[in-house]
Amino acid sequence: MSTRQILPGSTLGVLGGGQLGRMFCVAARTMGYRVVVLDPDPLCGAGHIADIHIQADYTDLVALADMANQCDVITLEFENIPSESVRFIADKTTVYPVAESLEIAQNRDLEKQFALKAGLQPVPYFVIEQEEDIEKAADDVGFPAILKSNTLGYDGKGQFVVNSLTELADAFNEAGKVACVLEKKITIQREVSAIVARNANAELASFPVSENQHVNGILHMSIVPARVSDEITQLAIKNASILADAMSYVGILAVEFFVSDDNVLYFNEMAPRPHNSGHYSKDACVTSQFEQQVRMICGLPPGDTRLMSPVVMVNMLGDLWPPKWNDIFAQTNIKLHLYGKPEARPGRKMGHFNVLSEDIASAIDVAEQVFEKLNTRY
């Protein structure tokens, strides 16, 4: 049985006003929808694009009710929105993803358990909830390992590489003695991500798999198509689709994987939203991940995700500011996207650029040359 379609002229809501919310607003307004953003930051990038910006905290029940009353459907920009707020909204209007999906993605242990149950293979790990668990975790996982806080970790935050029991104990203290997972540090050949889209009718579409390179825990570059075998590509898409179906998920779901040296695909984590590694789709795919997000929450059929050109996406952090703009614009095959953030800080994502070329090798070459020039100060 098909669900109701929410058509242009309707009002969509997004919780979160950063760059993902901003790009969602651009896609939604281009498609003829009104958009309401809720974000506490008066200068948030999405607030400049939305029809209405409700400046309030994500736990402000009066503001959440106001937003729900205005919107036909609401979605999320990032996964650290309190699930209680999502449940509160769900009593008043439709919201995707649902709170249950959010809670799985917010907790590394729950996330790994869910992936295991669905048939995926996470990196071997052990949960540390208190100091008494440290020795047992070390015996079970071994060293080297990576300690990750169980919640609120992204862009490398709350992560510590440890090589001994002493280093593990120190890292647990530095993490604030909060619940953590200790993961075995495997030798990684590639890091890849698969992004899938699913609507309430269980129609599903997948984007081309990207190969991701990180610097200091933050995504630096995404290469599409990923330089992995067809078997790994198809398995990544299949596994992401399995997770989406298992959650009866609605929206965009990004799933990150490690490809080990012995060609095993390990589940790393998932994000219940558009993902940094999917920004290439804004220029290189028939349908971007943000247009697809609009389509999915509105009950529309998935758009064509075909890759029209090899592409490399490069993140632009505040460390580059002010960039030498002419080094970007001198390249005729670069598409620049800035996020409207008023202040540049080291590590802060200020924008990205996509390099489109006839083959992936030349796209990588241009991307690396341009980034090297941008990274060389005046």
* 3-state secondary structure (DSSP) of residue 305: coil
What confidence score (pLDDT) does residue 93 get? 98
- pLDDT, the chain, mean: 95
Domain spans of the chain?
A: 11-95, 124-184, 188-374
Angle at 375 between CA 352 and CA 185, to 5 degrees: 75
Residue count of the chain, please give it.
Answer: 378
Neighbours of 370 (CB within 10 A): 21
What confidence score (pLDDT) does residue 217 get? 87
What are the C-alpha distances in Å from 353 to residues 212, 305, 350?
A: 15, 20, 11
Rounded distance, CA 74 to CA 357, Å? 36
Rounded distance, CA 372 to CA 320, Å? 10
What confidence score (pLDDT) does residue 158 get? 73
Rounded distance, CA 184 to CA 280, Å? 31
Residues 144-162 pLDDT 10s:
999 999 987 655 567 899 9
Structure tokens at 45: 């990038």
Rounded distance, CA 341 to CA 339, Å? 6
Rounded distance, CA 338 to CA 355, Å? 15
Angle at 56 between CA 53 and CA 57, to 5 degrees: 135
Dump the DSSP string for 37-74. Answer: EE-S-TT-TGGGTSSEEE---TT-HHHHHHHHHH-SEE
Output 18 or 217, whichever has higher pLDDT: 18
Average of per-residue pLDDT across 16-33: 98
Residues 146-203 pLDDT 10s:
999 998 765 556 789 999 999 999 999 999 999 999 999 999 999 999 999 999 999 9
Give the DSSP H/E element, type plus range, for residue 159. Answer: strand 159-162
Closest CA to 285 of 252, 240, 323, 260: 252
What confidence score (pLDDT) does residue 1 get? 44
Which one of 3.40.50.150, 3.40.50.880, 3.30.1490.20, 3.40.50.300 gives the CATH number of domain 124-184?
3.30.1490.20
Exposure string for 181-196, b = 16+ CB within 10 A, e = fewer: bbbbbbeebbbbbbbb
Neighbours of 59 (CB within 10 A): 13
Q: What is the CATH number of domain 11-95?
A: 3.40.50.20
Closest CA to 340 of 6, 119, 13, 21: 21
What are the C-alpha distances in Å from 49 to residues 38, 242, 293?
A: 12, 34, 17
**Residue 222, beta-bridge partner list:** 212, 313
pTM of the model: 0.95
Of the chain, the percentage scoring pLDDT greater than 70 comes to: 98
Residues 336-356 pLDDT 10s:
999 999 999 999 999 999 999
Closest CA to 68 of 91, 48, 52: 91
Report yes or no: 276 and 257 within 8 Å, Cβ to Cβ. Answer: no
Phi, psi (degrees; rounded to nearest 5) at 81: -65, 135
Phi, psi (degrees; rounded to nearest 5) at 275: -130, 150
Architecture of domain 188-374: 2-Layer Sandwich (3.30)
Of the chain, the percentage scoring pLDDT greater than 90 comes to: 94
What confidence score (pLDDT) does residue 60 get? 98
Burial classification of residue 346, based on how many CB atoms lie within 10 Å of its CB (0-12 exposed, 13-18 middle, 19 or more buried):
exposed
